[in-house]
Structure 1
Amino acid sequence: MRWGEIIRRLVLVPPTLFGVGAIVFVLLRVVPGDPIAMMIPPGASEADIVRLRAFYGLDLSIPRQFAIWLGQVASGDFGHSISLHQGVLGLLLSRLPATLELALLATLIAAALGVLTALSGILLRGRRAEWAVDGGVGVLLAIPDFLWALILLLVFGVLIPWLPISGRIDPQIDVTLHSNFYLIESLLTGRFDVVSALLHHMILPALALALPFAALVARLLKTSLAEAEDQDYAQIARARGFSRPSILVREAFPNALIPTVALGGVQVTLLLGGTVLVERIFSYEGIGNMAIDAVINRDFPLIQGLVLTFAVLFIALNLLVDFVVALLDPRLRHG
């Protein structure tokens, strides 16, 4: 990727975030529902309602509210949560690491399963066993991540209760870490008891997110490997006496990886969006679970902060995918 392209993409980030923020801000205030009506006690007076609306700035016009909120965001203040009575930025920073670690683990599982399945399918090319591999991939693709979450919860949480089905870590475990990136920090500091407890809680939601993604990676990579295997360089390597597995791994795989990363990278953003329902099902303490509570409670400041956070993550992931593709593809790297 050229430096000019990188700069152009970065210049478009602020207008994109501004547009996302403006659309969400206006939509929240024009759709039916009043957050103040949901938080006041049954015996509250009209004066109490007016006072709360003024406290949260909801008595002002929408353009005026947006201008005030935009100024606050520019200074690093995302407002105060109506339902949780805490600063939105602090809530996001406390919950975001859990979601990022879950998405990272799901991506690693999906990549490993997808690559192994694709290589198995291409090695069985032309045989009856290939149908079984393709059929399994089709089943994984047909079932969405939230349904996989329910299936895994039922099987490994109820029928065969091997794994915990709620929370991020056991409450009795002493987690004295410096950051909210529990898994990464505990790995770096050698707290393997914490690592084991975290993985026991993360494996089911991570698998639910990973299985459809792994199927997509397997299908994309297998198709790319089949195309690469028919290219001239693969035929020449075969004529020189190289074995088929060697040709697939050394010659076809690096070239087949480029379109797989380019197309599969888009799925990472969808996987991140899928954490909303999966975290809810497993009561996982991430921003996805918090987003559902924010919508139910009509918590305007928290919803706005969450939407901006997801927007930043999506933009960053797309930039990262483009950068990785440019590194893998010499044609893009050298412009």
Structure 2
Amino acid sequence: MLKAVLTRLATTLVTLFGVAVIVFVVIRVVPGDPIAMMLPPGATEDDVARLRTLYGLDKTIAEQFFIWLGGVVQGDFGVSITMRQPVLGLVLARLPATLELSVMALVIAVVVGGVLALTGTRLRDTRTEGGIDVVNGMALSVPDFLWGLVLILVFGVLWPVFSISGRVSPVLVPEFATNFFLFESLLRLRFDLWLDLVGHMLMPALALAIPLAAIIGQLLKQSLKETMHLDYVTLARTKGYSENHVILHEALRNAMLPTLTLIGVQFTFLIGGTVIIERLFSYEGLGNMAIDAVINRDLPLIQGIVLLFALLFTLVNLVVDLLYAVLNPRLRHA
């Protein structure tokens, strides 16, 4: 297990290096000059030259890359062109908001998808199972940003119940040690702030969770139906166990293994999906910042955000692989 973890960590470093090279080169060869966007129309050539020298854009792409990479190794991701602040500090300040939103969406998706799968398995070959399949199909057919628009229309316009903009109400200014407001508010017993945060996060989290819940429900139900015909499940029935006990205690453990892998893969896509959803709901997370960075051609900020997303993706996949080995004894003892 230790050897496997070390191998995956080495692979992660290679992956991050490849991502850094691709992103660094691509954002510099596409049309658009970040310096020109910073200066007023009357700026002189000397002004442009000074700014290019200041941000190191007067060097070749290869020289710029290795200078930037040397800084990254030391924890220096550069300075944002538009915000004039260190990129690492900006990214880490927004990361907790995106992680909290992604985790809430994942929890909602797992709970809803699991309930649909268990219900469809328990009531298999009935109209209820057919209805669940129809609901899953509808949820999969609509992308998350369209679900976001539907939620805004229903719960923001027609029936204004939940907050559809921002992360927290302006009257409630959280003064916490970290930017993980949702978790820290619980630890500090600030339930008023916690409820306000949940009220702001619920709609974007639902928009992200609905398609994922449909995928989880569909795959888990299919795995459960296949598992229900195996010998050990039949043996459990002959011992007199109820159908609910057979599903929850006998079939679910093995049926959830393929679903666990899917959840890990889809969770990485879910984190990437926060880019559009955060913009749609004006949520102050990393995705919203990424769009601003692209619009403003803020090269150091784009590089820092993409590299962090890549790191999150690889770490999530590593955790999923380890959990899969823990839950599957054949892999653990292989």
TM-score (norm 1): 0.98
Structure 2 CA distance, aligned partners of 1:7 and 1:74? 19
Structure 1 CA distance, aligned partners of 2:231 and 2:70? 59
Is 1:26 equivalent to 2:25 in the alignment?
yes
Structure 2 CA distance, aligned partners of 1:185 and 1:331? 39
Structure-2 residue corresponding to 1:61: 60
Structure 2 CA distance, aligned partners of 1:264 and 1:197? 28
Structure-2 residue corresponding to 1:293: 292
Shift of 1:163: 1.1
TM-score (norm 2): 0.98
Q: Any idea what SS the aligned residue of 1:25 has?
A: helix
Structure 1 CA distance, aligned partners of 2:263 and 2:13? 26
Letter aligned with residue 327 of structure 1: V
Structure-2 residue corresponding to 1:70: 69
Letter aligned with residue 134 of structure 1: D
Q: Deviations over 1:258-287 (max 9, x none)?
A: 111012211000101000000000000000
Is 1:99 equivalent to 2:87 in the alignment?
no
Structure 1 CA distance, aligned partners of 2:246 and 2:13? 46
Structure-2 residue corresponding to 1:138: 137
Q: Deviations over 1:196-238 (max 9, x none)?
A: 1100000000000111111111011101100110101111111
Q: Any idea what SS the aligned residue of 1:230 has?
A: coil
Q: Deviations over 1:93-112 (max 9, x none)?
A: 11000000000111111110
Q: Any idea what SS the aligned residue of 2:131 has?
A: helix
Structure 2 CA distance, aligned partners of 1:3 and 1:67? 32
Structure-1 residue corresponding to 2:215: 216
Structure 2 CA distance, aligned partners of 1:74 and 1:236? 57
Structure 2 CA distance, aligned partners of 1:263 and 1:174? 38
Structure 2 CA distance, aligned partners of 1:316 and 1:65? 27
Shift of 1:174: 3.0
Is 1:80 equivalent to 2:94 in the alignment?
no
Listed as ranges, the matches of 1:190-201 within 5 Å are 190-201=189-200
Structure 2 CA distance, aligned partners of 1:188 and 1:319? 29
Structure 1 CA distance, aligned partners of 2:277 and 2:63? 37
Return structure 1 stretches of 4+ with deviation > 4 angstroms.
none
Shift of 1:7: 1.2
Shift of 1:82: 0.7
Is 1:306 equivalent to 2:305 in the alignment?
yes
Structure 1 CA distance, aligned partners of 2:327 and 2:136? 26
Structure-2 residue corresponding to 1:40: 39
Listed as ranges, the matches of 1:118-267 within 5 Å are 118-267=117-266
Which stretches in structure 2 are left out of the alignment for 5+ residues? Answer: none
Letter aligned with residue 61 of structure 1: T
Letter aligned with residue 149 of structure 2: L
Shift of 1:76: 0.4
Is 1:9 equivalent to 2:8 in the alignment?
yes
Structure 1 CA distance, aligned partners of 2:60 and 2:175? 46
Q: Any idea what SS the aligned residue of 1:12 has?
A: helix
Q: Deviations over 1:277-330 (max 9, x none)?
A: 000000000000000000111110000000100000000000011111111111
Which stretches in structure 1 are left out of the alignment for 5+ residues? Answer: none
Shift of 1:43: 1.7
Letter aligned with residue 179 of structure 1: T
Paired residue total = 334
Structure 1 CA distance, aligned partners of 2:26 and 2:132? 45
Structure 1 CA distance, aligned partners of 2:302 and 2:65? 14
Shift of 1:124: 1.4
Letter aligned with residue 67 of structure 1: F
Structure 2 CA distance, aligned partners of 1:129 and 1:103? 30
Q: Deviations over 1:48-77 (max 9, x none)?
A: 111111111111111111111011111100
Shift of 1:243: 1.5
Structure 1 CA distance, aligned partners of 2:283 and 2:103? 15
Q: Any idea what SS the aligned residue of 2:279 has?
A: helix
Q: Any idea what SS the aligned residue of 2:315 has?
A: helix
RMSD: 0.9
Q: Deviations over 1:6-46 (max 9, x none)?
A: 11111112221111101111111111110111111122111
Structure 1 CA distance, aligned partners of 2:69 and 2:205? 35
Letter aligned with residue 116 of structure 1: V
Structure-2 residue corresponding to 1:50: 49
Letter aligned with residue 271 of structure 1: L
